[in-house]
Chains A and B, each alone.
Chain A
Amino acid sequence: MIKNLPSVDDELIVKLRKANENRGLWYYYLLKTAKDKGYNIEEFARKAIRKVGQARKGQYPDTDDLKVFVEAFMDDINKNLFEMELIYINDKEAKIEFHYCPMTGMWTKLTEDQKFLEQICDIAMDVDRGLFDEYDCFDFVLGKTICEGNDTCELYIKKVK
């Protein structure tokens, strides 16, 4: 059973949450329709979302300092939108947990197909994998996710160079 309840009620965040749920709505139907028609979403949608992620590099600092990067990744808006919590950070690794996912918030209104939910969640996370493709010095690892039924999504950012 997926637990995914927001707790931040700031007016701007509520509006942005709705905007992100709307992205989740479009994304869901694009992938669901494609899959139902027999197209291989693993192949084309992963490529698509990865490209979106790679294009996000310009929005983040050109740095090899993990702390500087994490500060930008967890700016005030993202922090409140995804209810992010910095579990730890040291010179080699940071662990961030998301307590709410607005895309999942929409998907769970549309389906209870657990397998499909996990698939589209993992494909959507290619947006972060794509961003980290652009950094030689950082690796990104996705741990447990809300979509799998966990309380939070775990993101690990590792310094590799």
Chain B
Amino acid sequence: MIKNKPRKETNDVETLQLRAASINRGKWVFQIAKEGLKAGMKWDDIREAIHKAGAYKGYNDFLRTSDIKKFAKAFATESLIKTNDAEIPVLTDDEFVWEVNYCPLVEGWLEFTEDQDFLENLCEACMEVDRGAMDTYGWTLELKETIARGDGKCTICMRRK
């Protein structure tokens, strides 16, 4: 059973608007993946596409630095923390752990399906956006828990090699 309710900022206009924008992105990605797979695409094709989007973000949206602490501070904007009801439980010279308690993409997907396998595959594919970004720094990403798998939160560990 997927638990995906934001605990905070449930009345904050800006946060609600930003969540709505991400829910919308989730719906677009969901339907493109669903119809793409029906047309013969493989999950690997979808992962590859989202990986490329992540690489773009790594090179163009995120702070270019070899310092993972500086990266984390620039990545975790106040808006993003509020949108994803997120926390940073670990931040060292080598590791940045990003814990997400609410995923707007998953909220969008649940409007279309309860197919657990599909949700988990789509979540995995979408995480390629962060893997793609991490590749541009030469860092690794480990996904420990996910909301889509029913863990109640996503724990994303980004590490320097």
Q: Which of A1-9, A31-39, A132-140, A148-156 participates in binding chain B?
A: A31-39
Interface size for B (C-beta < 8 A) is 35
Q: Per-residue 0/1 for B20-52: is the Cβ within 8 Å of any A Cβ (1 yes, 0 no)?
A: 011011011101111110111100011011101
In the complex, are the beta carbons of A15 and B14 less than 8 A apart? yes
B31 to chain A, nearest CB (A): 4
Is A108 an interface residue when CB atoms closer than 8 A count as contact? no
A80 to chain B, nearest CB (A): 11
In the complex, are the beta carbons of A52 and B36 less than 8 A apart? no
In the complex, are the beta carbons of B32 and A27 less than 8 A apart? yes
Which of A33, A34, A47, A77 is in CB contact (< 8 Å) with B17?
A77
B118 to chain A, nearest CB (A): 14
Interface size for A (C-beta < 8 A) is 33
Contact (A23, B39) CB under 8 Å given A15-B79, A33-B45, A55-B112: no
Residue of A nearest to B52 (CB): A29
Is A48 an interface residue when CB atoms closer than 8 A count as contact? yes
Which of B17, B24, B39 is in CB contact (< 8 Å) with A43?
B39
Residue of A nearest to B48 (CB): A33
Contact (A30, B21) CB under 8 Å given A51-B31, A55-B111: no
In A36-73, which residues have CB < 8 Å from any B CB?
37, 39-40, 43-45, 47-49, 51-52, 55
Is A16 an interface residue when CB atoms closer than 8 A count as contact? yes
In the complex, are the beta carbons of A16 and B49 less than 8 A apart? no
Chain A contact residues: helix, strand, loop or mixed: helix
Q: Per-residue 0/1 for B85-129: is the Cβ within 8 Å of any A Cβ (1 yes, 0 no)?
A: 000000000000000000000000001100000000000000001
Contact (A23, B24) CB under 8 Å given A40-B39, A44-B35: yes
Residue of A nearest to B21 (CB): A19
B87 to chain A, nearest CB (A): 21
In the complex, are the beta carbons of A48 and B34 less than 8 A apart? yes
- CA A45 to CA B22, docked complex, whole Å: 19
Contact (A29, B35) CB under 8 Å given A16-B18, A19-B18: no
In the complex, are the beta carbons of B28 and A16 less than 8 A apart? no
Instruction: Determine the chain B residues whose CB is within 8 A of the CB of A20 once the complex forms.
Output: 21
Which of B14, B39, B56, B111 is in CB contact (< 8 Å) with A110?
B56
Instruction: Determine the chain A residues whose CB is within 8 A of the CB of B28 once the complex forms.
Output: 23, 26-27, 48-49, 52, 127
> What are the 5 A-B residue pairs with the smallest beta carbon separation, nearest first?
A33-B49, A19-B21, A48-B31, A44-B39, A48-B35
